[in-house]
Amino acid sequence: MFKRKFYIPDNKIPKKWYNIASDLPEALPAVLHPLTRVPITPEDLSPLFPMEIIKQEVSTERFIDIPEPVLDVYSLSRPSPLIRAYNLEKALDTPAKIYYKYEGVNPAGSHKVNTAVAQAFYNKSEGIKRLTTETGAGQWGSALSFAGALFNLEIDVYMVRVSYNQKPYRRALIESYGGTVTASPSSRTEAGRKILAENPNNSGSLGIAISEAVEMAVQRDDTKYSLGSVLNHVLLHQTIIGNEALIQFDLADDYPDIVIACAGGGSNFGGFAFPFIGEMLRGGKSVKSIAVEPFACPTLTKGVYEYDYGDTAHLTPLMKMYTLGNGFIPSSIHAGGLRYHGMSPIISLLKKLNLIDAVSQKQVDCFEAGIKFARTEGILPAPESTHAIKTAIDEALKCKEEGISRTIAFNLSGHGHFDMSAYSDYLNGNMSNND
């Protein structure tokens, strides 16, 4: 019988995160203060983040130890499985070998828990009592609320209004874990009130929600801000995914030619792809890495590489990244976690240096791929994850056309059990493919 699933024993879980900043061909451009536009200092970031997080944000150390309390929480679901998608391969009649790393086994159902637990731990260790944050589709908000429950932190979540309305069950999950949820833009903040005065029907964006969360964080000494993507420390925490996958591919006696993950701000793509890219940068096997974004929010494929704010109200530092502009409001696609105007500075630099590829996919095409995956592999993927599945299928069909067997690996970042209204729209023909 062929081997389908590759597991690591619990006692072999990686004990360190991988920091790709140590292996970059050139240094990241400086992050600039939002008022003075000079490079920021650790002290400039201290109103928003605990000092240990700030140290990780600027570190160039290759490996950083995972604290034991974080590993204890990881052990609830990690190591996550690497699975050979034999049924999908058969349905596509492709010579390609397709693997997926399944992060839907995490509490709250997505990869976001990997950094939520770490950030909650570091904040709790420095005496913080409350965290504010934004969330798109709700995966990040639910993950941080779960982590907040474990470490006895109050969690205040600003959820992009279109997702707040589209995804009531994700909202309920956040509340079940103890977080509070506010539709963004809201009347609770100066940034929100200004935006609503201009357009009372504003559907919201991650940039707006970040502005509101940051504004609330700086008002109290016992409160910090927590971000679910984009920043270096967030992608660092997510590399537990790729670190495990490297070990699992050894168990499979295989190695990917292509690694694929969806990308909104970059935490999912970075977490899966960075350990493989790092191996390549240190002289190991070459790998093609593909970041997949929505056609409706094509940051890497149509954005400009320049300095921009991470939020709409210009409260955050300026980062050099691919961006569609901090005022960009994407259409109301169901992949709410991918509706961000900017991209991680590290991923942006890798793209600028042609070390990674990027593609965009249309919504209906992605849901079609998600349904094919569900009917062959049995897992209903999150709308965000369908972007990776669509691209993996495209690459597998290229193998079929060329008569070449390649090993394709993608990160299945979460399940879609709270996204049934989106699948209903697709199955009933009520979804647009113009975005």
| Closest-CA residue to 98 (of 402, 373, 382) | 373
Question: Is residue 89 within a helix (H) or strand (E), and if so which, with residue range?
Answer: helix 86-92
pLDDT tens readout for residues 91-111: 999 999 999 999 999 999 999
* pTM confidence score: 0.95
Query: Which SS3 state, helix, strand or coil, does residue 322 take?
Result: strand
pLDDT tens readout for residues 183-226: 999 999 999 999 999 999 999 988 899 899 999 999 999 999 99
List the chain domain ranges: 5-12+67-110+238-427
Q: Pull the structure tokens for residue 77.
A: 């679901």
pLDDT of residue 166: 87
pLDDT of residue 435: 67
pLDDT tens readout for residues 374-384: 999 999 999 99
**Is CATH 3.30.390.50 correct for 5-12+67-110+238-427?**
no
How far apart, in whole angstroms, are the C-alpha atoms of residue 340 and residue 324?
9
Query: 3-class secondary structure for 15-46?
Result: CEEECHHHCCCCCCCCCECCCCCCECCHHHHC
pLDDT of residue 1: 62
* 336 pLDDT above the threshold of 80: no
pLDDT of residue 205: 87
pLDDT of residue 301: 97
Percentage of the chain lying above the pLDDT 70 cut: 99
Q: What mean pLDDT comes out for the span 54-75?
A: 97
Contact 232/21 with Cβ under 8 angstroms? yes
For the chain, the residue count is 435
* 132 pLDDT above the threshold of 80: yes
